[in-house]
Amino acid sequence: MAVSRSSELVGRVVGGRYRLLRPVGSGASAHVYVAEDVRLKRRVALKLLHPALATDAAFLRRFQAEAQTVAALRHQGIVRVYDWGEDAGNAYLTMELLEGGSLRSLLDSGRRLSVSQVAALALDVASALAYAHARGLVHRDVKPANLLFDEDGHVSVADFGIARALAEASWTEPLGAMLGTARYAAPEQLKGAPLDGRADVYSLAVVAVESVTGDVPFSRDTALGALMARAGQPLSVPGELGPLAPVLERAGTVSPEDRLSAEAFAQGIAMVARQLRAPAPLPLPGIAASSEGVFGREPTELAGGHRRPHDAGITILVDDLEIMAPAPGAGSPSTHWPESGPPENGPPENGARAATATGPPVRATAAEPVAGTVALHRAGRGGRRRWLQRSLVVAVAVVLLGGAASAVLVLKRPAPTYAVPRLGGEALGDARAVLAGDHLLLAVVGTQWDTAAKGSVITQYPLAGTSLRAHSTVGVTVSLGPEPVAVPDLSTLDLAQAISELRSDRLRLGRVARRTSMTVPDGSVISWSPRGRRVLPGTAVQLVVSEGRPMAVVPPEAASTSFAALQAALRGAGFKVAELTAYSDGVPAGDVVSVSPSAGTREVVGSTVTVIVSIGPHTVTIPAGIVGLSADQAGKVLLRLGLYVYEVQGSPLAPVTGSQPAVGTAVLYGKSVVLVTR
């Protein structure tokens, strides 16, 4: 049962259980139907996937696992999954039927949500995402077409697990469909990086902005320009979002590490919602108004606008008939009547051409003729002459249509296809030339840092070997070269540690200079260059390493050198000076007695040199108090003063009556004194 046109399968029973009642939408990977569960007698939504997916064993395994996981979810904001299976070459999924339509259909009708309405919607969706993320499920494809309403206006998230299964399938969607979905993708999703729930939060923030403003953020002249802009800029939230703007900006950061989780996003919206008025009920579009997707199709920049029905071929007006010659690949030519409908009694008498300014022609409801013929009403009462004139016109139209039908038969032959070549490693210009040789086009859909040479192709979509028609587009991701790395902080590290740090950051050691330093210890890094920048891996980093403090010679000194002069010389050489005083019999007071460390030695600049300065000779005055004391007592007094008793003249037992030198005389410290007794 290969899927061709979704309406052709209406009435069939899928999986022996689900009778297809009517189609409600089509997408690049599936058709969606309203179906009846003939066992449980209830209506469900049935998604019938592309036949190519049924032959992908890896996809089917992933599809089954995801369906089982999603079926276990129990949250009012997540569309329930009832069943999955395969039927005559098609994989299918049955889900809860929500008949309020999709947010995509609501926005496509020209309506915009108020801040209160979008706050309520985003809060419900964020809560559902937080529930799923806590159970290890990431949606990967949050967009308006996957947000469905029930009859009461409550929103639910559809297609959990489907995006991941499709991402791992060997079958790929057309480039236009991929770029359409990518309008809501997080920057890390566009780069192919591993995803977590914060990618869904970014997508929801984009949906919220579009719901209020009507514009998807990062709109550019081309889809590729929009994708590139998003990869390097945070989400800019317009003023129309009012108090929601700060929360949405935190949900729209480029780096997922700086982005809110779904739970934190829901909490932030809840705080804002308490300050807003109660939202008005949403004008639900219903699923009858939906186009494609789950119950709605995401437009893409490549898809363009909707075609009018008669744009598919060549229209020829003959009186009241509008005859359409089919375009290549279309069916039989069809007949259109003007908006007023077919004439009751044949063509009008005046033979005028039908006006089409009042609206597009409406397809005739009568059975259409076979190719190369035109169903004409009889001429009625017109004269034979007028009838012959009109017959001639009709004959010309038949001939033209016959030629068109012949062309259609020729064009219906299978169009030639070309295998997509392998482009990995090719320079961008070479890759474009290779594709041109196979009648294919190239589009750069992304860039990223890579070890491959700058400007070379690192990934492609579709993969090599895929068959495409002529002039189809192959999307490629181009290398920006190796990602720059930050030069690390090397302060406080010694040379060995600095080399290890550079190697761990994929940098190498450049020239090493040695320099003394008053503050950096010997062997440690003083400075490095480049510093505070991001550079390419393998860049050489120049180091300046400390040799410790500088050395200087202690200036020479002489006994006649004054302390003031020596102090100035020591400080000029970078030394600190410590002054000590001492008695000196040979050095005048104020002059230098000695220096330590000694003059002429090399010492560390900044160290201390001790200078001993003379305060002159040390003298002691013989005290008068020794008179009347015994010789023994007087000797002890003199000894405490640094003088010695050399001799006692007289009886050693008699009291002291004087001394030589005489009492009151100043003598050098350590001199001998003669005591005189009675």
Q: Are strands 608-614 and 576-582 parallel, antiparallel or unpaired?
A: parallel
Mean per-residue pLDDT, 646-660: 91
Q: Is 443 in contact with 175 (CB distance < 8 Å)?
A: yes
Q: How confident is the model at residue 302 (pLDDT cuts 50, 70, 90)?
A: very low
State the average pLDDT over residues 423-436: 92
455: left (phi over 0), alpha (psi -120 to 50) or beta: left
Could you check whether 6-289 and 619-677 share the same CATH topology?
Answer: no
* Omega of the bond leading into 530 within 30 degrees of 0 (cis): yes
- Note the pLDDT of residue 414: 59
Q: Cβ(143)–Cβ(181) under 8 Å?
A: yes
Q: What is the pLDDT of residues 357-402, one digit of tens each?
A: 333 333 333 333 333 333 333 333 344 444 445 544 444 444 444 4
Residue 101: strand pairing partners: 149
Sequence-ordered strand ranges (E) for 12-117: 13-14, 18-26, 30-37, 42-49, 81-87, 90-95, 101-102
The pLDDT-based confidence of 6 (bands split at 50, 70, 90) is: low
pLDDT for residue 345 is more than 80: no
Q: Which amino acid is at 95?
A: M
Q: Which of 328-332, 431-435, 552-556, 641-645 has the lowest mean pLDDT?
A: 328-332
Cα gap 67→486, rounded to integer Å: 44
CA-to-CA distance for 23 and 44, rounded, in angstroms?
Answer: 12
Nearest to 241 by CA among 265, 260, 269, 281: 269
Kindly provide the b/e burial profile for residues 288-306, where b requires at least 16 CB atoms within 10 angstroms of the residue's own CB.
ebbbbbbbbbbbbbbeeee
More confident call, 330 vs 598: 598
Is residue 141 part of the annotated active site? The answer reads yes
Residue 526 phi, psi dihedral angles, 5° rounding:
-90, -45
Backbone angles phi, psi at 544, to 5 degrees: -120, 120
At 590, is the pLDDT very low, low, confident or very high (cuts 50, 70, 90)? confident
Average pLDDT, the chain: 78
CATH placement of domain 619-677: 3.30.10.20
pTM over 0.85: no
Question: Measuring CA to CA, which residue among 197, 182, 176 is closest to residue 231?
Answer: 182
Cβ pair 308, 341 in contact under 8 A: no
CB count within 10 Å of CB 646 equals: 11
Structure tokens at 516: 């003394």
Backbone angles phi, psi at 151, to 5 degrees: -65, -20
Identity of the amino acid at 155: V
**Quick one: pLDDT band at residue 538, thresholds 50, 70, 90?**
confident
* pLDDT tens column, 472-497: 888 888 998 888 899 999 988 999 99
Query: In Å, how far are 63, 68, 316 from 404, measured between CA atoms?
Result: 45, 51, 12
CA 237 to chain centre: 17
Catalytic residue of the set 56, 108, 141, 320: 141
pLDDT attached to residue 656: 93
Render pLDDT for 70-80 as a digit per residue (tens, 0 to 9): 888 889 899 99
Residue 66: count other Cβ atoms within 10 Å of its Cβ. Answer: 22
List the CATH code of the domain at 485-546.
3.30.10.20
- Under a CB-based contact definition with an 8 Å cutoff, are residues 460 and 441 in contact? no
CA distance 237 to 241: 7
In DSSP terms, 102 is beta-bridged to: 148
Architecture in CATH of 551-614: 2-Layer Sandwich (3.30)
Contact 459, 424 (CB under 8 A): yes
33-38 own/partner pairs: CB under 8 Å, 24+ apart: 33/6, 33/9, 34/97, 34/287, 35/94, 37/82, 37/94, 38/13
Round to whole Å and give the CA distance between 16 and 392.
55
pLDDT tens digits, 547-582:
888 888 888 764 457 888 888 889 888 899 999 999
Categorize the per-residue pLDDT at 86 as very low, low, confident or very high, splitting at 50, 70 and 90: confident
- C-alpha 460: how far from chain center: 21
- Cβ neighbour number for residue 179 with a 10 Å cutoff: 25
CATH architecture of 417-479: 2-Layer Sandwich (3.30)
Q: Are 131 and 74 in contact (CB under 8 A)?
A: no
| Non-local CB neighbours of 271 within 8 Å, separated by 6+ positions | none
Domain positions in the chain: 6-289, 310-411, 417-479, 485-546, 551-614, 619-677
pLDDT of residue 573: 87
Fold of 6-289: Transferase(Phosphotransferase); domain 1 (1.10.510)
3-state secondary structure (DSSP) of residue 596: strand
Range of lowest pLDDT (102-116, 374-388, 635-649): 374-388
Tell me whether strands 672-677 and 441-448 are parallel, antiparallel or unpaired. unpaired
pLDDT band at residue 463, thresholds of 50, 70 and 90? Answer: confident
Torsion of CA 428, 429, 435, 437, to 10 degrees: -160
Among 217, 205, 238, residue whose Cα is nearest residue 121: 205
Q: Which residues pair with 335 in a beta bridge?
A: 323
**Cα-Cα-Cα-Cα dihedral sign, residues 291, 293, 298, 301:** negative
- Provide the token pair at 663: 């009492």
Q: How many angstroms separate the Cα of 293 from the Cα of each of 23, 78, 80, 384, 579? A: 11, 17, 17, 55, 93
Confidence of residue 181 (pLDDT cuts 50, 70, 90): low
Per-residue pLDDT of 231-278, as tens digits, reads 778 998 999 999 999 999 999 999 999 999 999 999 999 989 888 888
Q: How many Cα atoms are found within 13 Å in the side-chain-facing hemisphere of 355? A: 3
Q: What pLDDT, on the 0 to 100 scale, is given for residue 252?
A: 94
